[in-house]
Amino acid sequence: MRRSALLLLAGLLAAQQPPPVKFQASAQLVLEMVTVTDKSGAPIEGLTARDFTVTENGVPQTVAFCEYQKLDSPDAARPAAPVIDAPTVSSVTANQIAPEPPGDLRYRNRRLLALYFDLSAMPVADQLRSFAAAVKFLRTQMKPADLVAILTFSGGAVRVLNGFTDDRDALLATIQKLVAVDEGLGEDDDDSDTGAAFGQDDSEFNVFNNDRQLSALQTAAAMLGHLNEKKALLYFASGLRLSGIDNLSQMRATTNAAIRANVVLFSIDARGLVALPPMGDASRPAPGGAGMYTGASAMMVSNNLQRSQDAMYALAADTGGKSLLDTNDLSAGIVQAQKAYSSYYVIGYYTGNAALDGKFRRIQISLREYASAKLDYRQGYFAGKEFGKFTAADKERQLEEALMLEDPITELTIAMEVNYFQLNRAEYYVPVVMKIPGSELALAHRGGYERTVIDFIGEIKDEYGSTIQNIRDKVEIKLGGATAAELARRPIEYDTGYTLLPGAYTVKVLARDNETGRIGTYLSKFVIPNLNKEEKRIPISSVVLSSQRVDLHDAIYTAGKDKEQVANPLVQEGQKLIPSVTRVFSRSREMYVYLQAYEPTAPAAQPLVAFVSFYRNRTKAFETAPMQVAQRLDNRLKTAPLKFSISLDKLPPGKYTCQVTVIDPAAQKAAFWQAPVLLTM
C-alpha cells in the first residue's frame, strides 16, 4: 500500500507539470579489425583513417576513427588490471565475459587468448595432457602482452572460470583445480551452477551427434564477441567427428558466429600423437570377422581417427586459424595462436543504413595506396531486427531470405530423421520427422487456450542443386491446462512425407516461432539407395526406432496438419508410429522397431528370420528371440514388414548399440543395421 501511494503521488505531480521535451538519436557503430601486411607478410604501420576506403553494400562510409593495436611492443603501455574485492556471494554474471566499459583501455595493445577445454569430448587422460600444456604456456611462454581467459564446457553448459587476465597465479590456480577434480582430489563446484551459458537437455536432444559441442563453441564465440578487439580461441578436444545424423547448419553457424565476433579458432587435438595398433588397443576386445584378414578393420580404425580430425581442421581453417594435430607438445598450439597476429587496425564507422531489417550487409575495405597490400577483415554483418514490427509480407520475406542464407540461423534447436521405404521398382516414400524442444517455444494466451504458431519452410535438392520438393507449412498448436504446463518438458513434433527416386539429396528446413521470431535451421545430406541393384544382401528399408504410437486424431504433441497417409508405412490400423529421432528411450516404456524387407524374386513360401541385439562396449547385453516372418504384402516387391516390441526394463541405463539382423536361410543372404541408443530411467 505504501508503494502504491507513492506512485499515485508521483503521477499527480507529473500531471501538473508540462510534458518534458525529448531529444532522441540513434546510430549504429560498426567495428572492423583489419590486419594489413605487405608482400612479405610484414605488418604495415602508420596508416590513418584517411588511408582506408570502406563501403557497406556498395555505399561509401565515413571512417570515424582508426586505431593501431601493436602487440609485443616493449614501449606499449600496460594498464594495470583493475583491483576487484573478493565478493562474498557468487555473481549472477560469473559465467560471462564482461564487455569493456566505454573509455576503458584495459585491452589496448593486448593479445586476447581464450583457452577453451571441451571436457565433454575428452577422456581424463587427454584432459590432463591439455591442462599440462596450459601450465607450460602460462609458466614459460606467456608474454607481457598476453591476456588469457579459461573456459570449459561440461554438463551441457559453458563456464567462464577466468576472464581475460595476466595474473599467472590466478590462472595456474584454476588449472590446478581442474586437475584436482579430474584426479578425484576435489569437487567440481560448478556442477550445481544453473546460471552458465548454453544449457541443453542432455536427456534427449543432440545426445549422439556433435551439435551440442558446436553450439557450445558458438556460445563461447558469442561471449568473446562482446569485446571489440581480435580474439583467439584455443579449442582443446579429443577429435570432433561429424556423422550422417548431425545438423550441418550448426557447423556452418559456429564458423560464421566466430567470424562475426572477430574470433579466430585454433583447434588442438588433445590425444597428441596417436599410435594405432592395426587391431585396436587394449581398451576394446579383439575384432572378429573377415575384416581381420582383409585389412578392413585396420583401415576402419585409421579412417575413424582421420574423420575425427577433419572437423577440427575445418573449424580452424574456416575462421583463419590453424589446427595442431598428431603432436604431443600441445602448448605449441597456444604459441601458434600467439604468433598468428602481432598487430592490427581497429576501424569504426557509423552506418548510414538505420533499418532494423535483419539483413546481411557486405563490407569491403581497401587502401587508397599500397595496392599490393593484403587486408584480412570480417566480410560483413547482420543488421538488427524487431520481429514484433514485421508485417505478414515481412515475415514471409524473412523466411525466404533466411532459407537462401549461407549463414544458418540456429536460435531454435531442431532434430530431424529422414527414412525411406520402397513403394515400387522406381519410387520411395520418404517420411521426414522433426522435433523442437517445447521449452524453447513461447506461448500466447488467446481464446481461452495457450497457443503457439510455428512456420516451416524448406527444400529438398538433388546432387546437382535442383529443387525436387518444397516444404512450406504453418502449424498452430492449442494447449490447455496441464498440457500447456508440460510443454517445457515435452517436444513438439512435425512430420511430412515425399515420394522420391533413388539418389543423393540435401534437405534444409527452417522453423520459426511466430511469437518471438526465433529461427532454427536443420541442414543434412541423405541418400536413397537403389535397392533393385542389391544382390549380395537382403534389400531392407530404413529402420525406425520408436517408443510411442498415437492415434491419427491425437495431435497434442504432433505439429502436423491432416494429410494423406495412405503411402506412409508408419501408419497402420489408424495409428501412427512416431520415430524417436533422438534415439533416447525410457526403460519404463517399450521400444518399437519397424522395417521392411523386399524380395521380388523370392518364393513367397520362404520365411525370413530376424532379431534385435543390444551391445555395450562390444559385448552383447541382450538379444530378442529369432522371429520368423512369412507374411508379405500383396505387391510386386513382396514386401515383408518386420515389427518388434521390446521391453527394456531388464537393461541397465546407459548407451548401447542396437543391431537389427535379417536372415534369408533359403537364399543364404543377410542384412544388418546398427545405431546408437540411450536408455534412461
- What is the DSSP annotation of 573-584? TTEEEEE-SS-E
CATH number at residue 67: 2.60.40
CATH number at residue 434: 2.60.40.3880
Compute φ and ψ for 220, nearest 5 degrees.
-65, -40
Q: Tell me: the pLDDT tens digits for 31-49?
A: 788 888 888 878 888 899 9
Q: Tell me: the pLDDT tens digits for 247-294?
A: 677 787 788 788 878 888 999 988 887 766 666 565 556 565 555 556
Query: In this structure, is residue 157 part of a structural domain?
Result: yes
According to the model, what pLDDT value does residue 162 have? Answer: 87
From residue 315, alpha-carbon distances to 262, 306, 630 in Å are 14, 15, 51
- For 119-122, which contacts have Cβ atoms below 8 Å and span 24 or more sequence positions? 119/152, 119/153, 119/154, 120/153, 120/154, 120/155, 120/212, 120/213, 121/213, 121/237, 121/238, 121/239, 121/240, 122/236, 122/237, 122/238, 122/270
According to the model, what pLDDT value does residue 294 have? Answer: 60
- Whether residues 311 and 411 share a domain: the answer is no
From residue 350, alpha-carbon distances to 58, 172, 308, 366, 635 in Å are 15, 41, 43, 17, 68
For 552-647, strand residue ranges (E) read 571-572, 575-579, 584-586, 591-598, 608-616, 619-623, 627-629, 639-646
- Whether residues 397 and 518 share a domain: the answer is yes
Query: In this structure, is residue 656 part of a structural domain?
Result: no
Q: Show Cβ contacts of residue 556 under 8 Å, excluding neighbours closer than 6 positions.
A: 479, 483
- 323 confidence band (pLDDT: 50, 70, 90): confident
Which of residues 333 and 444 earns the better pLDDT score?
333
333-337, 350-354, 449-453: segment of lowest average pLDDT: 449-453
Which of residues 574 and 589 earns the better pLDDT score?
589
User: What proportion of the chain, given as a percentage, has pLDDT over 70?
Assistant: 75
Helices (H), 406-481: none
- Whether residues 283 and 309 share a domain: the answer is yes
Residue 34: domain span:
26-71+345-385
First to last CA, the chain: 50
Compute how many other C-beta atoms are within 10 angstroms of the C-beta atom of residue 494: 23
- 609 confidence band (pLDDT: 50, 70, 90): very high
Q: Tell me: the pLDDT tens digits for 651-660?
A: 999 889 999 9
Residue 189 reports pLDDT greater than 60: no
Final residue of a structural domain among 361, 385, 409: 385
- Whether residues 285 and 138 share a domain: the answer is yes
Range ranked top by mean pLDDT from 53-57, 79-83, 92-96, 379-383? 53-57
- Whether residues 134 and 220 share a domain: the answer is yes
Query: In this structure, is residue 580 part of a structural domain?
Result: no
| The residue type at 90 | S
Is 43:36 a contact under the CB 8 Å cutoff? yes
Query: In this structure, is residue 540 part of a structural domain?
Result: no
* Domain count within the chain: 3
CA nearest to 219, candidates 237, 199, 202, 238: 199
- Whether residues 200 and 268 share a domain: the answer is yes
Compute how many other C-beta atoms are within 10 angstroms of the C-beta atom of residue 86: 4
- 303 confidence band (pLDDT: 50, 70, 90): low
SS3 at position 469: strand
Q: Please, what is the average pLDDT of the chain?
A: 78
Residue 210 reports pLDDT greater than 70: no
From residue 249, alpha-carbon distances to 110, 510, 512 in Å are 33, 10, 15
According to the model, what pLDDT value does residue 369 have? Answer: 84
According to the model, what pLDDT value does residue 480 have? Answer: 65
- Whether residues 185 and 303 share a domain: the answer is yes
DSSP character for 326? S
Question: Residue 428 has which C-alpha cell?
Answer: 520411395
From residue 396, alpha-carbon distances to 401, 409, 434, 473 in Å are 9, 16, 21, 12
Query: In this structure, is residue 44 part of a structural domain?
Result: yes
| The residue type at 487 | L
CA nearest to 197, candidates 209, 210, 215, 182: 215
- Whether residues 465 and 516 share a domain: the answer is yes
From residue 53, alpha-carbon distances to 47, 62, 128, 580 in Å are 12, 8, 48, 54
Q: Tell me: the pLDDT tens digits for 121-162?
A: 788 889 999 999 999 999 999 988 889 999 999 877 888 898
Question: Residue 358 has which C-alpha cell?
Answer: 535483419
CA nearest to 162, candidates 122, 133, 134, 126: 134
Q: Tell me: the pLDDT tens digits for 101-119?
A: 655 566 777 889 999 999 8
- 16 confidence band (pLDDT: 50, 70, 90): very low
DSSP character for 42? P
Q: What is the largest CA-CA distance in the chain?
A: 98
Query: In this structure, is residue 236 part of a structural domain?
Result: yes
- Whether residues 310 and 190 share a domain: the answer is yes
- Whether residues 209 and 280 share a domain: the answer is yes
- Based on its alpha-carbon atoms, the radius of gyration of the chain, rounded to whole angstroms, reads 29
Beta-strand relationship, 619-623 and 575-579: unpaired
Over range 661-674, report the average pLDDT: 89
CATH number at residue 310: 3.40.50.410
Q: Tell me: the pLDDT tens digits for 505-542?
A: 999 999 998 888 888 888 889 999 999 988 888 999 99
Is 611:593 a contact under the CB 8 Å cutoff? no
- Whether residues 367 and 467 share a domain: the answer is no
Question: Residue 534 has which C-alpha cell?
Answer: 542389391
For 378-518, strand residue ranges (E) read 380-382, 415-418, 421-422, 428-437, 444-446, 449-462, 467-479, 491-500, 503-513
- Enter the pTM of the model: 0.61
Final residue of a structural domain among 513, 531, 549: 531
Beta-strand relationship, 449-462 and 467-479: antiparallel
From residue 528, alpha-carbon distances to 102, 247, 418, 422, 540 in Å are 56, 18, 10, 10, 12
63-77, 252-266, 455-469, 499-513: segment of lowest average pLDDT: 63-77
According to the model, what pLDDT value does residue 6 have? Answer: 34
Compute φ and ψ for 342, nearest 5 degrees.
-115, -20
Give the burial class of 470: count Cβ atoms within 10 A of its Cβ; 0-12 exposed, 13-18 middle, 19 or more buried.
Answer: exposed
Query: In this structure, is residue 315 part of a structural domain?
Result: yes
Residue 493 reports pLDDT greater than 70: yes
Query: In this structure, is residue 679 part of a structural domain?
Result: no
Final residue of a structural domain among 531, 562, 578: 531
Give the burial class of 610: count Cβ atoms within 10 A of its Cβ; 0-12 exposed, 13-18 middle, 19 or more buried.
Answer: buried
- Whether residues 372 and 236 share a domain: the answer is no
Please report which helix (H) or strand (E) contains residue 249, including its range.
helix 248-260
